[in-house]
Structure 1
Amino acid sequence: MVLSRFWLSIFIGSIVFIGIALFTGNFYTVDFLINGKKDDKILIAEKFPNEIPAFIADSLSKADDKTFVLNRNTKDADTTFVQETKTVKIYSGVQKADGLLPTCKNTLLDLILPLIAYLAFFCGLMQLLIDSGAAEKLAKLLSPIFVKVFPDIPKNHDSISYMTLNFAANFLGLDSAATPFGLKAMQSLQELNPDKDKASNAQIMFMCLHAAGLTLIPTSIIGYRAAENAANPADVMLPCIITSFVGTIAAFIIVGIRQRINFWSTTLLSGIFAVIGGIIGLLFYINGLNLVEKNFFTANLSGIMLLAIIGFTLIFSFANEKKFAALETTVFDSFVVGARNGLQTGIQIFPYVLGMLVAISLFRNSGLFELISNGIAFVFAQMGVAKEITDSLPVAILRPFSSGGSRGFMIDAMRNAGPDSFTGRLVCIFQCSAETTFYVIAVYFGSVNIKNTRYTLGTMLLVDLICVLTAIFVASWFF
């Protein structure tokens, strides 16, 4: 219900804001909202040649392409004059996101189709884990801890192994693998859900822990920093780990209080301290490496672990072929069945993702998001918050809505302020330490047709806020 109302609010609010902008003359046309593409120049006016300054008209007449660019400045949007047959079109500024129709197209071609491919492959692997008995063994191994966090899940249930693989993929920065594992976990938890339209306690806990996004190797962030020529691209790794870990613990405590989890269980505390110890040990090892060794390690760990998971699954399946024979199937046929189920899941979640991304596209292009973002930054500035922080806030504000949009702000901030500036580092921590909340809710709950998400959205947004505040504190401490 909350998600539905929020979706309606940003959709209707954006349309109303567009109407006001068009009526007051702030928008010359709304075509870019429907058909425009990200970074396209925006048409702001059209005039007759005699209505523009003489020096511009003269420059247009001499230009071979009938185009004249005024005030060329890398930090400001150019004003471009284009000579048509009888008029001159004036463009200024660039579009923040794809328009409505390109968003529909790109959601299918650039997001859903690759996601379906990932789902098909990894769901095929998960079917091998199930049929070979590996999932059952993993569930038995981790049940003592998981039953404390998810008391509604029966001991040794398959969902435990799926959630473990999802958390591990997130931990290693394997986004393409994390989503298929997570969707399989959500579907498995739905089998235990007594009310199929309402999110269960276990599903909410899983979603919030997943969204907190505990990350060990922020591979993509390191790559973007390297591309912007940062002196030490991996210097934000420890702040990212700390921030995401605080977010994960916050999610567990907030949801745990609501669900009356026993936080003082010896088994649970042992598991948490074991994770903390493992992280600290690995950090000590990484900090002992020189820059070349550190870059090599961070660049290869995630890929090696993914290959290890695939290799283990195939070898274990081959060693237990008798179990496949007992099920009257083969290893390859089992993989195909799982891949087919992944394909169906991808098709099922498409409408949910499409509806959310189209609303966000209109929200950004309407200017309403920018108005709200600037308003929040202004309030913080009046409170005495440093400019380096307020300049970073657009990334934090946009992150729950759009990973691609916040990534664009992050790169822009690094280019303008410098990758080794406080702002350049803080935006990277923002980008790494939280999940794309609305997209994740649409995908995961959409995959099992959950209509009532209960307190999931509020909790995830609160965790996002905690991650933002933690990121600011940690960045101030380190840099």
Structure 2
Amino acid sequence: MVLSRFWLAIFISSIAFVIIGLFTGNSYSIDFVLNGKKDDPILISEKYLKEIPKFIQDSIQKSDEKTFTINRDTINPDTTYVYKSQTVKIFSGKQKSDGLLPTCKFSLFEIILPLIAYLAFFCGLMELLIISGASEKLAKKLSPVFEKVFPSIPKNHESISYMTLNFAANFLGLDSAATPFGLKAMESLQTLNTEKDKASDAQIMFMCLHAAGLTLIPTSIIGYRAAENAANPADVMLPCIITSFIGTIAAFLLVGIRQKLNFKSFTLLGSIGIIVGAITGLMWYINGLDIIGKNYFTGNLSGLMLIAIIAFTLIFSFIHEKKFVEKETTIFDTFVDGAKNGMNTGVKIFPYVMGMLVAISFFRNSGLFEIISNGLSFAFSNIGVSKQITDSLPVAMLRPFSSGGSRGFMIDSMKTFGVDSLTGRLSCIFQCSAETTFYVIAVYFGSINIKNTRYTLAMMLLVDLICVITAILVASWFFVK
């Protein structure tokens, strides 16, 4: 219900803002909201040739393309005059996001189809894990810990292994693998849910832990920084780990308090201690490497772990091939059956993803997001927050709505303010240590037709806020001299 109302609020307020802007003269055309493409110039006016300044008329007429661009400086947007069919169209600025119709197309061809491919492959592997008995063995090993965090899940339940694989994939920055494992976990948890249209406590805890995005190897962030010629592309790695770890602990405590978990369990405290120790040890090892060593280690660990998971699944299935024979199937046929289920899941979640992305597109293109972002930046600057921090806030604000949009702001901040500036580094930490909350809720709950998400959205946004505050403190500690 909360998500539905929030979706309606975004859509309706954005549409109202676009219409008001058109009739008050703040915008000349609304076609860009419907059909425009990201980074396209925006039409702001149309005049007859004689109505524009004489020097521009002369420049247009001398140009073979009948166009003229004024580039005043690197900060303000270019203004381009295009003469065609007796009028001059004036363009200025760039579109923030794809329009409604391109977003519909984008959501299918750039998100759902690749996601279906990932789902097909990894769901095929998960079916092998189930039939071979590997998932059952993994669940048995981890049940003592998971029964403290998820008391409603029966001992050795298959959902434990799926959640473990999802957390491990996120931990290693393997987004393509994390989503299929997570969807399978939600599907498995749904079998235990007595109210099928209402999120269970276990599903909410899983979603909030997932939202914190505990990451060990932020491979993509390091890659973007390397592409911008950072002095040390991996220098944000430790801040990303610390921020995402604190976010994960906060998510566990907040949801655990709401669900009245027993925090005094020796097994639970011991497990948290082991994780903290492992992360600390790995950070100590990585911190001792030189730049080339760090790049080599971080660039290969995630890939090797993914290959190890695939290899383990296939070898374990081969060793226990008799279990497939008992079910009158083969290893390959089992993989194909799992892949088919993954494809069906991808088709099912498409409407949820498309609906959320279109609302976000409207929100950005309407200009409402930019006004809110500028207002918050102004408010923070007036209470003493440094400009370097406020310049990075658009990434933090957009991250819950759009991974691609926040990534664009992150790259832009590195280009504009410097890849090794506090703004550039903080933008990277924001991007790494939070989740695309609205997209994730739409995908995960949409895959199992959950209508009432209860307090999931509020809790995930609170975790996002904690990650933002933590990122600012950690970045200031590491990078402010």
Q: TM-score range by the shorter chain?
A: over 0.9
> Match of 2:112, as an amino acid?
I
Identity %: 76
Number of positions where the alignment pairs a residue of Structure 1 with one of Structure 2: 479
Aligned to 1:120: 120
2:339 is aligned to: 339
* Pairing 1:384-403 to 2, within 5 Å after superposition: 384-403=384-403
CA displacement, residues 127-148 of structure 1 (integer Å, 9 cap, x when unaligned):
0000000000000000000000
Q: In structure 2, what is the equivalent of residue 163 of structure 1?
A: 163
Query: Which residue type is aligned with residue 363 of structure 1?
Result: F
What is aligned with 1:100?
100
Map 1:77-476 onto structure 2 (within 5 A): 77-476=77-476
DSSP-derived class of the 1:276 partner: helix
Equivalent residue number for residue 15 of structure 2: 15
Cα distance in 2 between the residues matched to 1:106 and 1:465: 29
Q: What do residues 304-326 of structure 1 show as CA deviations (whole Å, max 9, x unaligned)?
A: 00000000000000000000001
Question: Secondary structure at the residue paired with 1:76?
Answer: coil
Partner Cα separation in structure 1 for residue 291 and residue 453 of structure 2: 45
The residue type equivalent to 2:293 in the other structure is: E
Letter in 1 for 2:354: L
- Tell me the residue number matched to 1:46: 46
Gaps of 5+ in 1: none
Range that drifts further, 101-110 or 16-25: 16-25
In structure 2, C-alpha distance between the alignment counterparts of 1:178 and 1:292, rounded to whole Å: 28
Per the TM alignment, residue 76 of structure 1 is displaced from its structure 2 partner at its CA by: 2.5
The amino acid that maps onto 1:193 is N
Three-state SS of the structure 1 residue aligned to 2:381 is helix
Taking structure 1 as the reference length, the TM-score comes to 1.00
CA distance in 2, matches of 1:71, 1:321: 68
Q: What secondary structure, in the 3-state scheme, does the structure 2 residue paired with 1:192 have? A: coil
Q: Which amino acid in structure 2 is aligned with residue 349 of structure 1?
A: I
What amino acid does structure 1 have at the position aligned with 2:170?
A: N
Q: Structure 2 CA distance, aligned partners of 1:77 and 1:217?
A: 37
Structure-2 separation of matches of 1:337 and 1:305: 25
My pick for the range that moved more, 219-228 or 74-83, is 74-83
Question: Residues of 1 paired with 2:16 and 2:36: CA distance?
Answer: 19
Amino acid at match of 1:280: T
CA apart distance, 1:72: 4.7
SS across alignment from 2:476: helix
Deviation at 1:473, TM superposition (A): 0.3
Q: Cα offset for 1:74?
A: 3.3
Q: Is it true that 1:3 corresponds to 2:3 in the alignment?
A: yes
TM-score of the two chains, using structure 2 as the length reference: 0.99
Aligned mates of 2:455, 2:3 — CA distance in 1: 10
In structure 1, C-alpha distance between the alignment counterparts of 2:55 and 2:458, rounded to whole Å? 56
Counterpart Cα distance in 2 of 1:138 and 1:392: 41
- Hey, what's the Cα distance between the residues in 1 that align with 2:191 and 2:72? 60
1:382 Cα offset (Å): 1.0
CA offset digits 1:309-364 (Å, max 9, x no partner): 00000000000000000111100000001000000000000000000000000000
Q: Deviations over 1:412-434 (max 9, x none)?
A: 10111101111111100000000
Query: What is the distance in 1 between the residues matched to 2:273 and 2:77?
Result: 51
**Counterpart Cα distance in 2 of 1:372 and 1:143:** 45
Deviations 1:95-129 (A, max 9, x none): 00000000000100000000000000000000000
CA positional deviation for 1:469: 0.3
Distance 2:348 2:102 in 1: 21
- Post-superposition Cα deviations, 1:384-412, rounded to whole Å, max 9, x if no partner, equal 11100110110000000000000000011
